[in-house]
Structure 1
Amino acid sequence: MNDLKLIDTYKSFLQAYSPEQIRYIPEKGAWSIGQMYDHLIVVAHEYLDSVEACALAGGEQTQGKTEFGEYLFNIGGFPPVKIQLPPELNADPDNTKTKEDIRRELDQLMERMKELKIKVDEINPNYKQEHGGFGWLNAQEWFDLVAMHFRHHLRQKYELDGVWVKHGDGSDASI
């Protein structure tokens, strides 16, 4: 599934949720569906900022990925485990957005991705930006990380859907 189709799939999932489902936090330390969407959008823009930074780098970087970064890109995605970030990087995402807010932000993200997709192939692959966990990534790798991150959170989406079915009114928002 290509990057934009994946995000479009998230948009279609969004339509099935009620405002209560979007904001429902199942337990302390867990996120709501809306927070998961907010996290995906914010992080995607951070990754795309790094794509643009690679374009502006102007100098080649000889350092490569970390061992985990190599593993991640060799398997083409995140492993199917929950990843706990350090507390300073793990602020709770916004839980106030409406379905319309999230849809609009997904549309804006898709537009930005379309614009950068055209440019990313022209960026020198030796112009890189450092990722705290994965090492030095070039523009294409940063761009690919957006879809990898969206795919990784599909499991969380289905878990949250299951929690809602147990808690909510019995209707199933999973698709």
Structure 2
Amino acid sequence: MAISLLSQFKQDLDGYTERQLRYQAAIDVWSIGQMYDHIIVVAEEYADEIERCLASHEEQPLGKTEFGERLFQAGGFPPIKIRLPDEMNQPPNNTDKRETLERRLDELSARLMRLEPIARAANPDVKAQHGGFGWLNAQEWYDLIEMHSRHHLRQQADLERYLMEAGI
């Protein structure tokens, strides 16, 4: 599912001009390019955690936090805007050209295609810790990539609306 969602983001990317990719409706509102950068960076971080789980043989008895349990039971993030604390909320890169974002999405998709069957077959008791969601196994980290990316679809629609309102 994560791969098909990334494929949709890549397809959508073709419809944006360079100006549209960088446009920010307000100082505290990301551009579409920043949203793409954020999705890619976070997915790469989560893929690193999948690989950490796959490289380890140490089983972890601890599980998810209460929020992590609710997130996975719901199958995704609640339909709200989530703002991280300022120290964790550095603005994403707003300089990548469309071709760079496309290449990064392609590289990420290839990595996830390789990891998906391995994560599915991995020992579910080998886990890595997420700061907010608790201890996640390789398959859960993989699922989190899709949940996180899907969460940004609403943001994408908002950003596209801002472009239309600005006549860009």
TM-score normalised according to structure 1 size? 0.94
- In structure 2, the residue matched to 1:26 is 25
User: C-alpha separation between the residues in 1 aligned to 2:151 and 2:142?
Assistant: 15
Q: What is the letter of the counterpart of residue 81 of structure 2?
A: K
- In structure 2, the residue matched to 1:148 is 147
- In structure 2, the residue matched to 1:129 is 128
- In structure 2, the residue matched to 1:117 is 116
Is the aligned partner of 1:168 residue 2:167? yes
> Between Structure 1 and Structure 2, how many residues are aligned?
168
- In structure 2, the residue matched to 1:173 is none
Q: What is the letter of the counterpart of residue 142 of structure 1?
A: W
Gaps of 5+ in 2: none
- In structure 2, the residue matched to 1:37 is 36
Matched residue SS, 1:121: helix
Following TM superposition, by how much is the alpha carbon of 1:74 offset from its aligned partner in structure 2, in angstroms?
0.2
Matched residue SS, 2:121: coil
- In structure 2, the residue matched to 1:10 is 9
- In structure 2, the residue matched to 1:61 is 60
CA offsets, 1:104-153, max 9 Å, x none? Answer: 10000000001101211232110000101000000000000111011100
- In structure 2, the residue matched to 1:91 is 90
Moved more, 55-64 or 37-46: 55-64
- In structure 2, the residue matched to 1:172 is none
User: C-alpha separation between the residues in 2 aligned to 1:118 and 1:63?
Assistant: 24
User: C-alpha separation between the residues in 1 aligned to 2:115 and 2:59?
Assistant: 20
Q: What is the letter of the counterpart of residue 24 of structure 1?
A: Y
Matched residue SS, 2:135: strand
Following TM superposition, by how much is the alpha carbon of 1:12 offset from its aligned partner in structure 2, in angstroms?
0.9
- In structure 2, the residue matched to 1:51 is 50
Dislocated runs of 4+, deviation >2 Å: none
Larger helix proportion, structure 1 or 2?
2
Q: What is the letter of the counterpart of residue 78 of structure 1?
A: F
User: C-alpha separation between the residues in 1 aligned to 2:4 and 2:59?
Assistant: 32
User: C-alpha separation between the residues in 2 aligned to 1:118 and 1:64?
Assistant: 22
- In structure 1, the residue matched to 2:99 is 100
User: C-alpha separation between the residues in 2 aligned to 1:87 and 1:58?
Assistant: 35
User: C-alpha separation between the residues in 2 aligned to 1:127 and 1:86?
Assistant: 29
User: C-alpha separation between the residues in 2 aligned to 1:88 and 1:127?
Assistant: 30
